[in-house]
Amino acid sequence: MTAEEAEPTVTAFMLVKTTPEWLALTVEERVEAFTTQVLPVIQSKAKDVTSRFYDTEFYSTRVTDVWV
């Protein structure tokens, strides 16, 4: 595939303010919830979406997690 034929890539950053219940989960539980509950909804709208989850461990800011 040539550069002219390639689809453009878009990177979206979602700055997320979560609930205390979310923050009480372990990192493993958060990743599991994201991959089983959030990601399928996104992929139902856009099939080629991939994601990365960054656990920032912010507890008193406007943003608690970053999803890429």
Q: What tens-digit pLDDT sequence spans the chain (68 residues)?
A: 565 666 767 787 777 777 889 888 888 998 899 889 988 998 898 878 787 777 666 555 666 666 77
Pair of tokens at residue 63 = 């943003």
Strand order in the sheet with 53-55: 14-16, 65-67, 53-55
Check: pTM over 0.85? Answer yes or no.
no
- Contact between residue 57 and residue 48 where contact means Cβ atoms under 8 Å apart: no
**How high is the pLDDT of residue 36?**
93
**How high is the pLDDT of residue 60?**
58
Q: How many CB atoms lie within 10 A of CB 48?
A: 7
**How high is the pLDDT of residue 32?**
92
Chain position carrying tokens 């372990």 = 26
